[in-house]
Amino acid sequence: MLLLLHILNFVGINYALSGERSKENTSFPIATNGQMFPWNKLRLPGWVLPVHYDLLIHPNLTSLIFMGSVKIEITAVYETSTIVLHSKHLEITSAAIEEESGKTQTDLKQIQVLEYPPHEQIAFLSPEPLLVDKKYFLSINYIANLSDGFYGFYKSTYKTKDGQTRLLASTHFEPTSARMAFPCFDEPSFKANYTIKIRREEQHIALSNMPKVKTLKLDNNLFEDHFAESVKMSTYLVAFIVSDFQSISGTTSSGVKVSIYVTPEKLKQAHYALEAAIKILEFYEQYFGIYYPLPKQDLVAVPDFQSGAMENWGLTTYRETSLLYDPETSSASDKLWVTMVIGHELAHQWFGNLVTMEWWNDIWLNEGFARYMEFISVDATYPELQVNDYLLGTCFAAMGRDSMNSSRPISSKAENPTQIKEMFDTVSYDKGACILHMLRNFLTEEVFQNGIINYLKKYSYQNAKNKDLWNSLANTCSEEDFTSGKCCYSKGQVAKNAHSYYVSAHFDIAEIMNTWTLQKGIPLIIVNQNKKKIKVRQERFLKGIFPHEPQWASMQIGFLWHVPLTYITSHSETIGRHLLKNHSDTLELDREFAWVKFNVDMNGYYIVHYEGNGWDNIIKLLNENHTLFSHKDRVNLIHNVFQLVSAGRLLLDTALDLTRYLRHESSNIVLLEGLGYLKMFYHMMERRNISDVTENLKRYILKHFKLVIGRQTWSDEGSVSDRMLRSDLLSLACDLQYPPCMQKANELFSQWMRSGGTLNLPTDVLKTVYSVGAQTIAGWNYLLKQYSLSMSGAEKNKILYALSTNRHAEKLKKLIELGMEGEIIKTQDLAALLHAIARNPEGQELAWNFVRENWNKLLQKFELASFSIRTIISGTTSHFSSKDKLEEVKHFFRSLEDQGSQLKITEVVLETITKNIRWLKRNLNSLKTWLLNNL
């Protein structure tokens, strides 16, 4: 978004001080009772501010109804008789206002309530105007149903080992669902303190953001838990849970109590999360130089949870597979995932909770930072996980979206709840993380760290915008720091030990970074080398739209980035650096060089194209001695060359020629990247039933990677990287029906079945073994039975994926039916299930047709624009590559009108299908010929 809006924009100034409307605002909506509603905007007016919420919640887990009362301390910025706040699906039973006079409160005055559901707003009309700077207390009683979905205050269930169903109630408020649990000023800049009380039955416990301070015993076997007053925070971070969970606890070196809460029978799966949470929380306190401000941090595994996790302050909530680690069924990649998610949510305790974006257009300030801090924190606390290698994949995901015209700027306009939900995407998370990584590499680690500490300290318990971050990073040191030679940066001054390009020119961080956050897309750096000179120019990189086409030129207009280039040459002793601020520039080196490689270790967010014979030279170098380049540089080269094929800059033959050296590759991450493209082409051909190319690709992969496949053991030995390569390679080999793989997998599956599911197989090969076993009717039926009995979310994920690979339509239909019922297969897993079935050549039509025929039913389970709906849309359509399918998808989404046609994801999938069609048209014959020549 180019113009950042203040939440306290005081649009209410259009009202006279008495609260009457000005003549400029004559169009006001009608409330549910037929009266005129006194506010006509989606954003709340800024004339009344909350100071403190006193909230009482009483859920009934039998009737699934909850009663609530809230007393909100408010102050008026302008004299007004109208208080507008949020409420959704709450039945207000009474409302009153009282004012504080001296130390006493005057009598309660009943006030009129107006509701306007389209904006999820209610208005309270006070009999007397609220005066500026006086304390008032708004008291509201209400009743509501526990939500059926995954937002607001919702019900969740789990099954015990003996088949009993247990109920609990949990919250998920981000971004706009606190209003489903209590009437509130539900926007991030209306921060306040909270005192929460929860009523429950004796067999349950209650949790909230703060520690419990006391419990009162009431009549009817009821107890009322009182929690300490919270720090000042936004509504979306409030949380409470009523359940029968059990916990294990530990304490950090600074005295913070950390607890993991889970269903009783899964307590043994909580130990790794406790260890990781303590280590990472301690790391963040040291890294940010700010102690975690709450006395406790609870991490709760919620049985029904739509996303991965949620950072509620002091009470982070997780999908079970994002928190629990079972040594008997969790693989190396499961362990990495759990660690990264914990790192993400704990980073939010500073980025997002302590300092919150002012409005949702800058959600990347929360999510991009938390995504990036995952890598920094886990690298520091668990170096054996080698997480920095996986940052490359995060950036590839961002680039995939950003190289399409349907992308968006990191900071984008978002006003209504649907638009706000759509902001939680790969652009905010992954691109946000990658541009922060580029900035850290540009500024140096020390300057970057000092800058974000400066940012966090300056804006603690407040809200911030893009420019506040840039200002903090641009002023990281005092005069004393500068003169002492410390590595820091201040406008107009540069420390002597900072990167060399600092000295060559003073730069404006905001000016640089605005080119990355306020415009969409990704730059293509085109390199032309000639003796000692390197000519570089930048263009906007676009996949599926080629330079010779008429629309290409218009899509380049207005795009310019300030790109921190890094490069090495055949004679480099240090990394070369240059800030490219124009469309083109020339770098003159002090000696001639044989080759140049830009974007060293892929620390920058850009694609590189080497013109002339640049790519031929690189291919030759890789074949002669691939270790001339670091393993990250090799991954970067493989990624770039295939992206350039999609953009019409290179022939597919060139990209495939580059991969031929991979038979000599020893780096696991590089092997996975190269094989990933070959695997993608194989599945594309298989789905289109282009059988000759499918068969030749299979033969090529098995011929050229036979040795590395043969080296894989069916065990859990080796480093995390070794184990993840093993999982991927054996899965691919069995997918390609490689006889030794199929034989071993069938043998292990038979042993497992004979043991009644009690045999502990190596966790890294479970998914492969289950997938091979699922191809027979007996094996599929047995796996489904074990799925229903398993107490491990990690194992259930592997079984469900395996079940989705069966090639019989009736089996796949059965899975979808179970997912819709939500008993055996939980509703939370339906989106991933449909995605998996759509990847199956026998399931692609089935999944897509199901979505079309059941769209309204899906919207009853998942909110429009939710993560699940977007996964369902992209997962069931993005693999299509024919004009017929393109028209079918277009027609379906056009027919939806307000029920999905306006979603950004529909634009993305239509462009993706178009790109797939063009890729096939341009490259299919090349692929056929190249395979024939290389077999």
Dihedral of CA 343/346/351/352: which sign? positive
Let me know how long the chain is: 935
Nearest to 38 by CA among 109, 112, 102, 94: 112
344 labeled binding residue: yes
In contact, 296 and 256? CB cutoff 8 Å: yes
704 labeled binding residue: no
C-alpha pair distances (Å), 410 with each of 91, 518, 902, 928: 38, 7, 19, 39
Q: Identify residue 252 by its one-letter amino acid code.
A: T
The strand pairing partners of 572, in sequence order, are none
Contacts by 17-21, CB closer than 8 A, 24 or more apart: 17/78, 17/79, 17/80, 18/79, 18/80, 18/81, 18/129, 19/79, 19/80, 19/81, 19/82, 19/129
Q: What b/e string do you get for 783-797 counting C-beta neighbours within 10 Å, with b at 16 or more? A: bbebbeebbbbbbbb
| Beta-sheet pairing, 121-130 with 80-86 | antiparallel
- State the DSSP string of 104-128: EE---EE-EEEEEGGGTEEEEEEEE
Task: Kindly tell me the burial class for residue 692, based on how many C-beta atoms sit within 10 Å of its own C-beta (0-12, 13-18, 19 or more).
Answer: exposed
The rounded Cα 283 to chain-centroid distance in angstroms is 22
Q: Is 592 a catalytic residue?
A: no
- H or E element that contains 523: strand 523-530
By three-state DSSP, how is residue 764 classified? Answer: helix
In contact, 238 and 278? CB cutoff 8 Å: no
Distance CA 520, CA 412 (A): 9
By three-state DSSP, how is residue 692 classified? Answer: helix
Distance CA 280, CA 272 (A): 12
State both tokens at 714. 């069916």
Distance CA 240, CA 55 (A): 11
C-alpha Rg value of the chain to the nearest Å:
29
Distance CA 258, CA 839 (A): 40
624 labeled binding residue: no
| Beta-sheet pairing, 193-201 with 48-60 | parallel
In contact, 320 and 350? CB cutoff 8 Å: no
Distance CA 574, CA 589 (A): 13
Catalytic hit among 174, 187, 311, 345: 345
Q: Nearest 5°: phi and psi at 736? A: -85, 10
C-alpha pair distances (Å), 435 with each of 353, 372, 605, 608, 720: 22, 9, 6, 16, 27
Q: Mind telling me the catalytic residues? A: 345
Where is the binding site for Zn(2+), in residues?
344, 348, 367
Where is the binding site, in residues?
344, 348, 367
